[in-house]
Structure 1
Amino acid sequence: MTKGAFYTGEYRNLFKEYGYSEEEVQARLEDTWNQIFYGDEDTKIYYESEDGGGYLVDTGNNDVRTEGMSYGMMMAVQLDKQEEFNRIWYWAKKNMYMTEGVHAGYFAWSCGLDGKKNAYGPAPDGEEFFALALFFASHRWGDREEPFNYSVQAKELLKDCIHKGENNDGFPMWNPDNKLIKFIPDCEFSDPSYHLPHFYELFALWAYPEDRQFWKETATASREYLKLACHPVTGLAPEYAHYDGTPNHIRGFGHFFSDSYRVAANIGLDVEWFGSNEWAKAEADKIQTFFADKDPEDYRRYKVDGEPFDEKSLHPVGLIATNAMASLATVDGPFAKETVDLFWNTPVRKGVRRYYDNCLYLFSMLALSGNYKIWKPENGRNQTYEGSLS
């Protein structure tokens, strides 16, 4: 096992290793940000509100989701875009945060473009991305007044995620016994793509001291869970899975489809941050091998054993991006460079379904260029923010 960037401070630029120049890689990364945040109306997904907020639109569903908002914050902190970060966080805290009911302390997973809540339930993948993006913001820029006291906001959110329900006041987002993240708090099954052990390793350092052992255990539990959830031959994971890793076919989500794509990306980033292991490399090889002989225009929904459905992929560009990010786990794998080249030669998506694809696209650009970094307390400038929000 080789050590990851958490220990070495060194982030691999796979694009450069595979023959692309540093200049063109940096230009491509900046152009991707600019297109997704400030491009034309057929490309951009970021908008600003008159009250000083900012939000990312799920263009396929015409709403604002905690998934996209937390993703936007992570993108912004990685690229040193504090004004956009603060605008997104301001909008999320103002419109999505719930202060009463069984889900108080969490964020409503979907809102209208006007900020009105479409639902009063949360989706845990948003909360975990919010928390780590906030920690990174604290370490990179320094805390300021509420709600921009980033580290406090992160610690309070994580406290709610694991302690709600102890006083019959709601439901935790992680099962307290097996330490696995739930699909939603008031259910008892999981979504393999929600499992981010590399995030939990950092929560174990920066959460409230009394919660740190829990997060360490979740990192171990999630890595073991992914071994159960990913098919032993194809490497494909279902969108929903039971705690034993078997597909959960409730509402038809027991197959490899949109959520599932993120598993490959998560495995790649876990290796980049915390080091390689034989399972991760083998898993990345299986996924890339499965797609090596398939035309992206014919990507489909699949059973986890690889049997295809007639239904086409809704997000083929996102799938190309996440498969490429898996190359971080298998740099010398049989299809690693080929998969990255395919991604490099694929433009950002335009049109109605662009939101999810382009979020995954920018994450892959960050990771493969060595710019998806762990921001530790000692890394930051702790500068005073002088943007437009007060």
Structure 2
Amino acid sequence: MFKKLMYVSIISIALCCTSAFAELLPITSSLPRVSKSYDSIILKTWQGIKKRNIDPYSVKLIHRPKSEFPHDAVSEGAGYGMLWALYCNDQEYFNKIWFAAEQYMWAGEFYNWRVDVNGKVEGTGAATDAEEDIAIALIFADLLVKKNIWTLTNKTPSGTTYEVRARSILESIKRNMLEESHLRPGAGWGGAAFVNPGYFAPAWYKVFAEYDSGSKSTWENLISQCYQTINLSPGFSNGLIPDWLKPDGQYNESPLGYNPTGDGRWLYKDAIRVYWRLATDYLWYNEPRAKPFLQNAMKFIVNPSRANFYQMDGSLVNGTYKLGNDVERPRTEHSHLTISMWACASMVSGLDEAEKYSDELLKYYDGTDYWGKATDSGNEDTLHNEMYFDQFLAFFGASLISGIFTNIWDDMKNPVTTVPLDWKTKPSLSTVTVNADNEPLNITGELNKSVRWSVVLKNRDNPDESVTFSDNSSKIDIAWYGLSGSGKAMPQGFYDVTVTVTGLTTPTTFEIWLGKSISLLVNDRLIVDDFRDDDLQPFFGNIWTSYLDSHDGKTGASSVKKLAVESNGNQKQLVWNYLLNAGNLGYDPYAAVELNFAKNSSLFNMTGVDTIILTASANRDLGVSFQVVTDDIVKSGTFSYYDDSLYLTTSPKEFRIPVTELRQRFGGDMKFDPSQVIAIRIQVQQKTGSEGTITLNSIQFAGDLESLYTAPPEYIAKSIFTKRDTRGINRYFGTIGQSSGHIKITLNKQFTGNIQIVNNLGRQMYRKHCTNANALVIDATADRITKGYYIVSIASQDGYTESVPFCIVK
């Protein structure tokens, strides 16, 4: 119920006195941001949320003063409030909201989605977006406690911690809110039949995949399915998507949701959140799949004055509705709500474009403790705004474009979060001419702290032929064998190499020549993985991971202590260490090391493979089940995978498993379909407490491999000196040419800084400091620059670097 207004006034005065001393989280953001600082706006409007939506109520949830059920509270608001409190470094109110959600909404597996003003449950069941948002907030809060940024007041009165509840929510989402990698809008309904794209949170799922690493493939498949559905939206070409639709892109036959505006076929208050959620994935993880939809949205909207709600044909929504205060307003809305969401999408077009949306958004902030205007002739004022949903979406948009809404999961990997980002060792290449049969291209570099980076190698003649490496770490150490992400040989020719680091405005660029990709066909065997590249990504397939008895709704508690590539003399091997624990399983626990093939939700076609060849050992003699998992078995729910029994010893042993001899476990009689392979597993099942190590040296395929793999063409040398025109890709380098024993370097604009040439062994052959230079002529003979491969590099006074390779043959 309401407190007396006298107390509200006292609280308001106290907030005004203390808000001046409030601070955002003490984390240096590495995200791109607009020029306007939103720090004080975010803090001041948070004080307004506390004053209007929390403090006047005895139930300390986020209340909706003007909803169709005035002053109620929904689980969505709990997630939103916890996120805003988190970024405002307000653990006190973070706990107030969460504790109230635990007391009044928690139903054992999820939060009931709605309560009245006094906390009485009025809407049972889960709202999946709320579960996701609360989970990510708790994961981030747990990290802040562990980093001593927040205090140990991280337990509810009943003793539940941030971490315990976060993990239980993730288990509940997997158990109740996923159906075949489709996101259900609630517990046990929707999914494969229909989805709410406003709930898609791919950046969250990437954090979940690391936090809940045993279910990494589950979260990755969910991400892929979300993007597949978005790409099938009936409004995709305009960057529009309806509030509700089927995963295949069709409209749902009947309206859904408790407030089905436009029969769920408009981009309205549910779907408009897609811009925020996808832009977060794009900014946090450089996610390329987010880009096309957001780019289409920018082409459609043209300028920020058109930010609004739309139908799929590109026309504005229509009609009016009444708020809970009985005030009528149009469904169209050019306000802080819509501008902030379209502003998120604008980040994909660069900061110049985002500045325009920032300027438009600030028209709807008057310096007070709320978003919106006190009065407005266009009915976009506090009387006609909800003072709930609009406030939160404005926060999400403003905090994202200003760099405040940073990836705390990645940020907390840094030992010191306030140190400015910089290179310790700038990126370098082991060679500029790649013959991967002899050695890979090694790309190395080191930053002064962990941060999200990506390395893209793009074919000069066909930019669609590219491969991307990315990670969140301080070190870049890549070995590229000339292969695509699916194991195919990349085309021969020149490649532009771009190293991009979140938080550094200028990428580092190189140019290399791919003469030959590695051949994975050796003695009529196809190398699926032999771990030579020192990572968990196979040549064929998705990722090496673990499959445990806690997955797929099971209640085991087995764990993995190690899954890593290690050196053994001159060889690399995969080492997997497990500890079995039955938990509440009711039978012997199990765990498996898994080669997962389900990349982007696609299946792996093993047609033509007649034998799988595995070289493996264990720390003791050990019987294991070798399993091939197919999609039809998974959908049947029987867990009766195709398997064979192997007996590992302490010495590496080669096992040849004929595909025709694979049989279903438990006496099943389904026929093996090689086109539906999801994974290959080596599973151990023994009593609780059993611990051991399995070591894999290689896995190969034999048979008729023609449809699966094509060997790369023979090596082609870059055998002539070619005049290179780099004006389209570099800031300074224009052309490099050779004439009469001289090398002429033409620059795009005047350059001041150092220029040097090194040979393929890294030896410096030439160095000079230039001042306002437009071109440089070098006497190749005098500087001993003879036949061979070289890299010319520049380093400007502002720290910008560029490198371009060239070749001299005579």
TM-score normalised by the shorter chain: which range applies? 0.7 to 0.9
Contact 2:316/2:332 (<8 A) preserved = no
Cα separation, partners in 2 of 1:80 and 1:228, compared to 1, 3 Å:
same
Map 1:90-169 → 2, pairs under 5 A: 90-99=99-108, 105-142=109-146, 144-146=154-156, 147-163=159-175
**Deviation readout 1:199-247 (Å, 9 max, x if unpaired):** 000001112x433321122122222322222623211110001011223
In 2, Cα distance between the equivalents of 1:124 and 1:258? 16
Cα separation, partners in 2 of 1:308 and 1:57, compared to 1, 3 Å:
closer
In 1, Cα distance between the equivalents of 2:233 and 2:118? 38
Amino acid at match of 2:355: K
In 2, Cα distance between the equivalents of 1:343 and 1:243? 33
Unaligned runs of 5+ residues in structure 1 are: 1-8, 39-43, 100-104, 164-171, 382-390
In 1, Cα distance between the equivalents of 2:53 and 2:332? 17
Quote how far apart the aligned CAs of 1:48 are: 5.8
Query: Which range moved further: 80-89 or 216-225?
Result: 216-225
2:208 to 181, 184, 203: 203
Unaligned runs of 5+ residues in structure 2 are: 1-27, 147-151, 256-262, 320-329, 366-370, 373-381, 417-810
Cα separation, partners in 2 of 1:249 and 1:345, compared to 1, 3 Å:
farther
Equivalent position SS for 2:267: coil
Cα separation, partners in 2 of 1:114 and 1:232, compared to 1, 3 Å:
same
Aligned to 1:342: 360
1:74 and 2:87 are equivalent in the alignment: no
Aligned to 2:316: 308
Map 1:1-390 → 2, pairs under 5 A: 10-16=29-35, 20=36, 22=37, 25-38=38-51, 44-47=52-55, 49-50=57-58, 53-57=60-64, 59-61=66-68, 62=70, 63-99=72-108, 105-142=109-146, 144-146=154-156, 147-163=159-175, 172-175=176-179, 177=180, 179-185=181-187, 186-187=189-190, 188-207=193-212, 209-229=213-233, 231-251=235-255, 252-277=263-288, 280-292=290-302, 299-300=308-309, 302-311=310-319, 312-313=330-331, 316-317=334-335, 318-331=337-350, 335-347=353-365, 348-349=371-372, 350-351=382-383, 353-376=386-409, 378=413
Equivalent position SS for 1:250: coil
Count how many residue pairs are aligned between Structure 1 and Structure 2.
Answer: 341
**Deviation readout 1:20-75 (Å, 9 max, x if unpaired):** 3x4xx32222222223333xxxxx33336547x34332632322011111010011
- Could you say which structure has the greater relative contact order, defined with CA pairs below 8 angstroms and 6 or more residues apart? 1
In 1, Cα distance between the equivalents of 2:197 and 2:104? 28
Quote how far apart the aligned CAs of 1:293 are: 5.9
Quote how far apart the aligned CAs of 1:320 are: 1.0
Quote how far apart the aligned CAs of 1:267 are: 1.5
In 2, Cα distance between the equivalents of 1:138 and 1:380? 16
Contact 2:136/2:166 (<8 A) preserved = yes
Quote how far apart the aligned CAs of 1:275 are: 0.5
Contact 1:198/1:270 (<8 A) preserved = yes
In 2, Cα distance between the equivalents of 1:314 and 1:356? 15
Contact 1:12/1:370 (<8 A) preserved = yes
Equivalent position SS for 2:266: coil
In 1, Cα distance between the equivalents of 2:269 and 2:415? 35
Cα separation, partners in 2 of 1:373 and 1:324, compared to 1, 3 Å:
same
In 2, Cα distance between the equivalents of 1:224 and 1:289? 21
Contact 1:249/1:255 (<8 A) preserved = no
Quote how far apart the aligned CAs of 1:294 are: 7.8
Quote how far apart the aligned CAs of 1:152 are: 1.2
Cα separation, partners in 2 of 1:379 and 1:88, compared to 1, 3 Å:
farther
Cα separation, partners in 2 of 1:380 and 1:31, compared to 1, 3 Å:
farther
**In proportion to residue count, which structure has more helix?**
1
Amino acid at match of 1:320: I
Equivalent position SS for 2:31: coil
Cα separation, partners in 2 of 1:31 and 1:152, compared to 1, 3 Å:
same
Contact 1:236/1:256 (<8 A) preserved = yes
In 2, Cα distance between the equivalents of 1:259 and 1:360? 11
Cα separation, partners in 2 of 1:358 and 1:380, compared to 1, 3 Å:
farther
Contact 2:235/2:241 (<8 A) preserved = yes
Cα separation, partners in 2 of 1:217 and 1:58, compared to 1, 3 Å:
farther
Contact 1:72/1:85 (<8 A) preserved = yes
Quote how far apart the aligned CAs of 1:299 are: 4.0
In 2, Cα distance between the equivalents of 1:295 and 1:68? 28
**In proportion to residue count, which structure has more strand?**
2
Contact 2:197/2:244 (<8 A) preserved = yes
In 2, Cα distance between the equivalents of 1:140 and 1:60? 34
Equivalent position SS for 1:118: strand
TM-score normalised by structure 1 residue count: 0.80
Aligned to 1:6: none
In 2, Cα distance between the equivalents of 1:68 and 1:379? 31
In 2, Cα distance between the equivalents of 1:345 and 1:90? 36
In 2, Cα distance between the equivalents of 1:236 and 1:97? 34
**Deviation readout 1:117-138 (Å, 9 max, x if unpaired):** 1111211010000110000010
Cα separation, partners in 2 of 1:294 and 1:13, compared to 1, 3 Å:
closer
Root-mean-square deviation (CA, aligned residues, Å) is 2.6
Query: Which range moved further: 346-355 or 73-82?
Result: 346-355
In 1, Cα distance between the equivalents of 2:282 and 2:234? 17
**Deviation readout 1:73-101 (Å, 9 max, x if unpaired):** 011112211001000001111101113xx
In 2, Cα distance between the equivalents of 1:34 and 1:13? 26
Aligned to 2:744: none
In 2, Cα distance between the equivalents of 1:345 and 1:316? 11
From the CA coordinates, give the structure whose radius of gyration is larger.
Answer: 2
In 2, Cα distance between the equivalents of 1:303 and 1:253? 10
Cα separation, partners in 2 of 1:345 and 1:11, compared to 1, 3 Å:
farther
Cα separation, partners in 2 of 1:14 and 1:115, compared to 1, 3 Å:
same
Equivalent position SS for 2:280: helix
